[in-house]
């Protein structure tokens, strides 16, 4: 079911500082920041040859990464996103296998304009897994 | 400086159960377990089309992931490994940029038989970064 690793997401308290560290210290290519108010984050993409790392900073009062940053004030690895060919088929197979889908179980349109779902980290050993249909 | 994402490492308390979940529920290809006593972990590789996920279980009394699992008993994303062309040049550039290398600053031979270094997570917003020379 799992396809490519679409991205690894890292929550950070200060996107400008994190961008400077990835661009400067680590010598990576980092995109311009993109505010995604409907997702409660501002994001930059660190472009690697085979995948990307997304650096996320909270945006607005109800950011979905606010609680994570309260628990991890310096930041940390937040989730991993795998590509799937058919997100509804993947969801049905996962639910049948006993996994829990976050929210109401229906895909939402994610940061890349594609349907996404999140799986409960308790079902996958503490890792928040995002699935994105590509 | 950063090349491909070589792997994303996830620490788990029970490698057999995690293997079953990735192979069964998520439908991924997972390798046979490999004990690496010199690294204090047993590892399996989840093979994705563009990179891999390593699931790590502590092995022995002084496992480097024991403290992480004490703090995160269900498991969690532990580190991300980037490939570099020249690990000594990368290290020197990073140290010059103010980053701290863990241990004595000399590369060790990692789980793949290649020289590796770890960077201090406090310098990279809570993310433990491994560099591997390929």
CATH number, domain of A75, equals 3.10.180.10
Phi, psi of A25 (to 5 degrees): -65, -45
**Percent of chain A at pLDDT above 90?**
94
For the cut 80, the answer to whether the pLDDT of residue B87 exceeds it is yes
Rounded Cα gap, residues A115 and A36, in angstroms:
15
Minimal Cβ distance to A10: which of B28, B74, B125: B125
Which of the residues A4, A14, A26 would you substitute to probe the B interface, choosing the one with the greatest number of B C-beta atoms within 10 Å? Answer: A26
Minimal Cβ distance to B125: which of A18, A51, A94: A18
- Based on the number of CB atoms within 10 Å of its own CB, is A54 exposed (0-12), middle (13-18) or buried (19 or more)? buried
Taking CA–CA distances from B12, the nearest residue in chain A reads A125
Rounded Cα gap, residues A71 and B33, in angstroms:
32
**What number is the average pLDDT over the span A16-29?**
96
Q: Is B23 on the interface with A (CB under 8 A)?
A: no
Whole-number pLDDT of residue B117? 96
Residue A51 contacts residue B5 (beta carbons within 8 Å): yes
Residues composing chain A:
134
Among candidates A5, A16, A9, A23, which has minimal Cα distance to A77?
A: A9
pLDDT tens-digit map of A102-117? 999 999 988 788 999 9
Confidence class of residue A126 from pLDDT cuts 50, 70 and 90? very high
Give the distance, in angstroms, between the CA of residue B20 and the centroid of all CA atoms in the same chain: 20
pLDDT tens-digit map of B64-77? 999 999 999 999 99
Shortest distance, CA A38 to any CA of chain B (angstroms): 24
CA dihedral A19, A20, A25, A27 (to 10 degrees): 60
For the cut 90, the answer to whether the pLDDT of residue A61 exceeds it is no
Among candidates B65, B64, B119, B111, which has minimal Cα distance to B87?
A: B119
Rounded Cα gap, residues A88 and A126, in angstroms:
23
Whole-number pLDDT of residue A20? 97
Q: What is the largest CA-CA distance in chain A?
A: 46
Whole-number pLDDT of residue A112? 81
Whole-number pLDDT of residue B61? 86
**What number is the average pLDDT over the span A13-29?**
97
For the cut 80, the answer to whether the pLDDT of residue A26 exceeds it is yes
**What number is the average pLDDT over the span B71-87?**
97
Determine the structural domain holding residue B29 and report its residue range: 5-133
Rounded Cα gap, residues B48 and A7, in angstroms:
12
Whole-number pLDDT of residue B19? 98
For the cut 90, the answer to whether the pLDDT of residue B110 exceeds it is no
Whole-number pLDDT of residue B113? 87
Confidence class of residue B21 from pLDDT cuts 50, 70 and 90? very high
More confident call, A39 vs B7: B7
Whole-number pLDDT of residue A110? 83
**What number is the average pLDDT over the span A59-82?**
96
Rounded Cα gap, residues B101 and B91, in angstroms:
8
Within 79-108 of B, beta carbons closer than 8 Å to A belong to 79-80, 82, 93-94, 97-99
Whole-number pLDDT of residue B132? 97
Whole-number pLDDT of residue A120? 97
Whole-number pLDDT of residue B38? 86
- Tally the domains of chain B: 1
**What number is the average pLDDT over the span B50-62?**
96
Among candidates B101, B93, B103, which has minimal Cα distance to B124?
A: B101
Whole-number pLDDT of residue B68? 96
């Amino acid at each position: 079911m799992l396809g490519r690793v679409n991205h690894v997401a890292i929550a950070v308290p200060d996107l400008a500082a994190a961008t400077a560290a990835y661009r400067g210290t680590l010598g990576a290519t980092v995109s311009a920041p993109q505010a995604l108010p409907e997702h409660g984050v501002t994001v930059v993409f660190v472009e690697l040859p085979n995948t990307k790392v997304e650096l996320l900073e909270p945006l607005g009062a109800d950011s979905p990464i606010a609680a994570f940053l309260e628990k991890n004030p310096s930041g940390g690895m937040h989730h991993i996103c795998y590509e799937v060919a058919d997100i509804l088929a993947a969801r049905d197979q996962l639910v049948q296998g006993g996994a829990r889908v976050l929210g109401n179980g229906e895909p939402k349109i994610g940061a890349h304009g594609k349907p996404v779902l999140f799986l409960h980290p308790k079902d996958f050993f503490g890792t928040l897994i995002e699935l994105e249909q590509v």
